[in-house]
Amino acid sequence: MAKRVLVTGGSVAANTLAWWLLRGGFDVTVVEKAAEFREGGQSIDVRGVARSVLRRMELEEKVAAHGTGETAWTFVDEHGKVIAKFELSKLGADGPTAELEVLRGELARVLYESVHERVDYRFGDTIAAIEDDVHAAHVRFESGRSEEYDLVLVAEGVGSLTRELIFKGENEPRWMEVTMGYFTIPKGPGDSTDARWYNAPGGRSIFLRPDNKGTTRAVLTLQAPIREAPESAQEQKRLLKERFADADWEAPRVLDGLEDATDLYFDLLRQVRMKRWHKGRIALTGDAAWCATPLSGIGTTLAIVGAYVLAGELSKTHDIAQAFKCYENIMRPFVEKGQNVPKFGPRLMHPHSRLGVSFQRSALRFVSKPGIQKVLTKVAMPPADKVDLPDYQYRASS
């Protein structure tokens, strides 16, 4: 049976995968490009079946203890006046604020700490080349080290280089025409447990969210077709500052915070679209396989569930090809539902003209009426339960 597994990446998908592979009795090595465990990231949602996976790992409560404390989403005008409010207490786990709303870095750390003593972690390295044959996958790393594995599982996120190495040209990305910058700023007097969203004309929004650290998490969004991300954080900051220079509301304070931020995460949103997720001894998972983008609200949920299913299928059989096939059969319909983000969604959320912003505000006032709010969230929220979670039987000793 395949025993030696190399997992690449060190975030949500990789650490969940490592946990379940250990449960299945595999020897696990994790290679992460960053020089040390990657902190950072803003609020992400763990929804539906992903919560069941965390429960099976006995980590649900631990993750919940890191909740950001967000209680509502409010939409505000340039004076900070509330236009519409969606409260967690009224909408439950179905609403835009999920019941399990945590910082990405904290979720990844809980998962990492649950396995790091039993896994061979290698930071600051990446795969340079792989060849696989009937005996093994032969891997050469950037560090110069060469090793053999029975399986290589790629969980490197949306920009995965190993995916491009193995499945060259097969990703047909779906560009969402949205650019987002996430960063942390000092807490201001108006910041509370409510997340606050402001739309400025020109397809721009400023979103401020609470965290559990006494700071505020800011997201600047531009609905614009940018294809090449500026390389350095300095250039990324410059782009955001230029584009938001004339925005109202709390823009000046947010841009001051951006100047000093050390954790800017800049993302040109695009979905990963792959016709296949495996080849020989190699398989993709998480965002590397199917990134649905933050617009879907389900990326982290898919990463946790995908890791659970991939490890579970590999634990069931000696036949790698069969395991990969079953993994894909279970995950693909779920992923397709998750990726089904209408392209007009970002445009609707980011009007360009002043008239558009004013129409959007009227629409928000209407849909936030109590009866309509509940129906709307049922229709608009991610399909986080739309998969039957298999119940894998692991040996007690594993």
Ligand X SMILES: Cc1cc2nc3c(=O)[nH]c(=O)nc-3n(C[C@H](O)[C@H](O)[C@H](O)COP(=O)(O)OP(=O)(O)OC[C@H]3O[C@@H](n4cnc5c(N)ncnc54)[C@H](O)[C@@H]3O)c2cc1C
The Cα–Cα gap between 299 and 309 comes to: 15
Q: Which is nearer to ligand X, 173 or 201 (CB)?
A: 173
Three state DSSP letters for 151-186:
EEEECCCCCCHHHHHHCCCCCCCEEEEEEEEEEEEE
The Cα–Cα gap between 388 and 194 comes to: 34
Q: What totals of helices (H) and strands (E) does the chain contain, helices first?
A: 14, 18
Q: Which is nearer to ligand X, 184 or 368 (CB)?
A: 184
Q: Does residue 40 belong to the site contacting ligand X (CB under 6 A)? A: yes
The Cα–Cα gap between 30 and 50 comes to: 22
Q: Does residue 171 belong to the site contacting ligand X (CB under 6 A)? A: no
The only residue of 13, 22, 53, 88 in contact with ligand X, by rule CB under 6 A: 13
Q: Does residue 244 belong to the site contacting ligand X (CB under 6 A)? A: no
Q: Which is nearer to ligand X, 40 or 280 (CB)?
A: 40
Instruction: With contacts defined by CB under 6 A, name the span among 59-67, 86-94, 157-165, 270-278 that binds ligand X.
Output: 157-165
Closest approach, Cβ 206 to ligand X, in A, equals: 15
Q: Does residue 311 belong to the site contacting ligand X (CB under 6 A)? A: no
The only residue of 199, 300, 315, 360 in contact with ligand X, by rule CB under 6 A: 300
The Cα–Cα gap between 349 and 160 comes to: 29
The only residue of 22, 32, 298, 313 in contact with ligand X, by rule CB under 6 A: 32
The Cα–Cα gap between 201 and 205 comes to: 8
The Cα–Cα gap between 194 and 255 comes to: 20
Q: Does residue 236 belong to the site contacting ligand X (CB under 6 A)? A: no
Q: Cβ atoms within 10 A of the Cβ of 371, count?
A: 7
The Cα–Cα gap between 59 and 225 comes to: 39
Instruction: With contacts defined by CB under 6 A, name the span among 184-192, 207-215, 243-251, 296-304 that binds ligand X.
Output: 296-304
| Cβ atoms of 162 and 8 closer than 8 Å | yes
Q: Does residue 376 belong to the site contacting ligand X (CB under 6 A)? A: no
Q: Does residue 230 belong to the site contacting ligand X (CB under 6 A)? A: no
SS3 75: strand
Q: Does residue 162 belong to the site contacting ligand X (CB under 6 A)? A: yes
Q: Which is nearer to ligand X, 310 or 357 (CB)?
A: 310
Q: Does residue 286 belong to the site contacting ligand X (CB under 6 A)? A: yes
Q: Does residue 101 belong to the site contacting ligand X (CB under 6 A)? A: no
The Cα–Cα gap between 397 and 22 comes to: 11
The only residue of 47, 51, 104, 243 in contact with ligand X, by rule CB under 6 A: 104
Q: Does residue 182 belong to the site contacting ligand X (CB under 6 A)? A: yes
Q: Does residue 299 belong to the site contacting ligand X (CB under 6 A)? A: yes
- Count the site residues for ligand X by CB under 6 A: 32
Q: Does residue 203 belong to the site contacting ligand X (CB under 6 A)? A: no
Q: Which is nearer to ligand X, 76 or 166 (CB)?
A: 166
Q: Does residue 161 belong to the site contacting ligand X (CB under 6 A)? A: yes
Q: Does residue 303 belong to the site contacting ligand X (CB under 6 A)? A: yes
Instruction: With contacts defined by CB under 6 A, name the span among 38-46, 206-214, 323-331, 367-375 that binds ligand X.
Output: 38-46
Q: What are phi and psi of 49, to 5 degrees?
A: -65, -25
Q: Which is nearer to ligand X, 162 or 223 (CB)?
A: 162
Q: Does residue 47 belong to the site contacting ligand X (CB under 6 A)? A: no
Q: DSSP per residue over 173-227, as a string?
A: -EEEEEEEEEEEEE--TT--SEEEEEEETTTEEEEEEE-SSSEEEEEEEEES---
Rounded to an integer, what is the distance from CA 91 to the centroid of its chain?
Answer: 22
Q: Could you tell me whether strands 4-8 and 151-154 are parallel, antiparallel, or unpaired per DSSP bridges?
A: parallel
Distances (CA, A) of 396 to 9, 23, 93, 103, 283: 28, 9, 33, 33, 27
Q: Does residue 31 belong to the site contacting ligand X (CB under 6 A)? A: yes
Residues contributing to the site for ligand X (CB under 6 A): 8-14, 31-34, 38, 40-42, 44, 104, 126, 155-157, 160-162, 182, 265, 286-287, 294, 299-300, 303
